[in-house]
Structure 1
C-alpha cells in the first residue's frame, strides 16, 4: 500500500504528569503509516534556576524520517533556554535573594519579550546545529519536522508554531486561541517561497513538501544569498504571548495534523471537554481522541498532548450517568441487531455502525466525537456476541462506508 500499512498499528505510547498547578496526559499512535515519525516533549519545571515554576510541552510531526523530530524532542528546549538566559542577555544578570542563605542568588526569569526572542533564536540555532549532522548534511537523511508547543510561565502562555501541527487554548468552554498552520498556499508563505526561486504546485513547495515552515528539510534551505528565514522552507516559528486567565483557562491541546485532519478546533475542544466530565484520567482521554480520529478516517501518525489547567472541567455525576446510559443503549441495540438476523444473515460491523448512525432514538452522543467516538464500545459488544470478529480493530474506513 505504498506509504501505508495493510492494517493500522494501534498500540499507543502514553505518559502523564502533574506539577506547577498543571496536569498533562499524552497519547501517540503509529496508525496506518509505515513508520512512526512523531515525537513529543513534556517538562514540568524547567531545569533552570528561577524557572522551576515554568513548564514546556511540544509535539513534533516528522516527515521523510524521524531523525529531526526525535532530536528536537530531546534538545529544542535547551536551545530555547540557552537563547533566553545565555550570556549577553540583558536580563541574565538580574538576581533575586531574600538574604537568608549563603547560596548564590537565583536569576530572575526573563521578561516576556526576551523569552519570545529566545524561542525564535532557539529554533534557528537548533536548525543550524542539526545541519552539521553528517547524514543530514550529505542527504542520506532528508527528514524534517514541524514543531508546535507551549511554554507556560506563572503569568503567560508562549504559544510556538513552525509547520502545520496546531495548538489550541480552551477558555470558558470556547476555543480562545489557535495557532495558524504554515501552508505553502498562505499568501505570506507563497511570497517567500517564490522570492527564493521556488513555486507552489498542488499546494506543496515545489510540488513536494506540504508545509512551508519546518525544522530540518535541508534540501529546501540551500538558496544562495538568502538567510535562514528566507529559504523555500523556513525554520522560524511564530510565537504568540498571551496573559493567563486562571479563573477562565481550562486546557491546552497540542496535536499533529493526523488529529486535525479529521477534527476541527471546535470539535476537538468539545470532545475533550465531554471526556473530562466523565473521566479524570488524562491518558485515557487522549487515547479516546486518538481512537476517535482513527475511526473518523485519519491515515497519519497521531499524537496529542493535553495540558489541563486548574479550572479544567471536572467529572460530573450527571455526565457519568448519561455516559453509562448511552453505553447501555448501544449495547442493547447491538444485541438486538445480532439476535434478529435479517434476510442476509448476521450483520457485519459496518452494517451495525450504519444502522446505528440512522438511529433516531439514540441518546446524545459525545459532542465533537459523534458515533465514531463510541466505535470501541460497539466493537467490544459485537465481538462478544457475533461469530464474525473485527480483525484489525481499526474501523478507520467505516465512516465513509456507513
Structure 2
C-alpha cells in the first residue's frame, strides 16, 4: 500500500542579515561544482555511470549532500582517508534504472573499493526523475560507518557487548520478546544489520528512538550508548563533547527549564516531533522551524503567510530502504549548513530579522559591555545589544558567549521570551 508523507517546511531566504534558511527561490544546482565539493569535503569519488542527458541527476547529488552532511564534521573524511591509505577507493556511483523497485541504495565493500550505489528513474509519475531516498542512502552509509568502527574498535568486542544486552535472544530469528531488545525484525537478522539499522534510525528518526517506551530507557538505548562510545574511541574527530547521537536517547529537561517547557507544550508551541529532546545541541534548521512555529501561533496563519511567504513545493517519490514503501516527499532547496548547530550570535541575528519583519524597532537597544564580543563585527554587535536589551537572550552580565551552541531546552526559554515579546 502506498503511504503518503507530506513534510511541510517553511522556506525563506534571509538575505539582509546574511542568515541562510531554506531558499525561497529555485536556484539551479551546479552539478560539477557539487561533485567537486563532495569529493574534496568527504574524499569520495562521485561517478554518474552511463550518463543519460535526458535525466536530471541533480536530485541524486542533493540526496548525497544531505545524507553525508548529517554526520559530524570530519567523520566521513576520516574513514575515507583511512581506506585511501590502504589503496581502497571510496566511490558513490549513480546509476539509471527503469524499475521503481530498484530505487534503493546499495553498499558493497571489497578489498579494492567501497562502493555505494544510488539509482535514478526517468519519467516517474510525479516528476521527470526520482531517486533513491535519503533514508536509503543513509542506510547504506550506516554500513560504511559501522564497517570502519568494526575495524578500529573491534568487531568481536562490540558484538560481545551487544550480545550481553540481548538477554539470550539470538540473531537470525524473531520471536516473542524480541521487540524489547531489537529495533525491528531486520535488526535482529544479524549483528551487522543491527548496527547499520541503528545508525540509520539515529540520523533519520532520532525522535522515534528517544520516545520508545514513552521516553524511558530500554535495551535499544543502551546499545546506542555502546555504539556512541565505540565511535568516540574509533574517530579522532569525535569526542565526548560532540554529544554524538545523544538526540536519540531519552532526555528529561533540567529543573530550571521544566516550567517553561510545560507552558509551551500546553500552548502547542513545541511540535510533537521535538518531544523528548532537551539537552542536545539544536541545529539551525530546528531552531528556525521552532521559531516560525511560535510566530505563526502568535500572529495567526494568514498574517504569518503574508509576512514571511511559503514557497510552492514539488513532490517526488522515494523508498523506505527496508520496507519498500513508496513515499511522496516535498522537495525544497537544501542548504547543508542547516544541519549545523546554531550559535548564540546567529540566534541574535535571527531574532533581529524576525523582529524587523514584525515591525519591531530593532534600533531600540542599550549598549551592553560584554567582555567576549571583541571579535564580533560592529554590525553584528547591534543584534547582541538588541536581544540583550529586550531580554530575549541573556548573558551572565559579563559575557554573552556569542559562538557557543545552545541546547534545545535553552532554546525553548529564548523562544518563550520571543513569544511573549511579540
Higher strand share: 1
Relative to the length of structure 1, the TM-score reads 0.31
TM-score (normalizing by structure 2) = 0.30
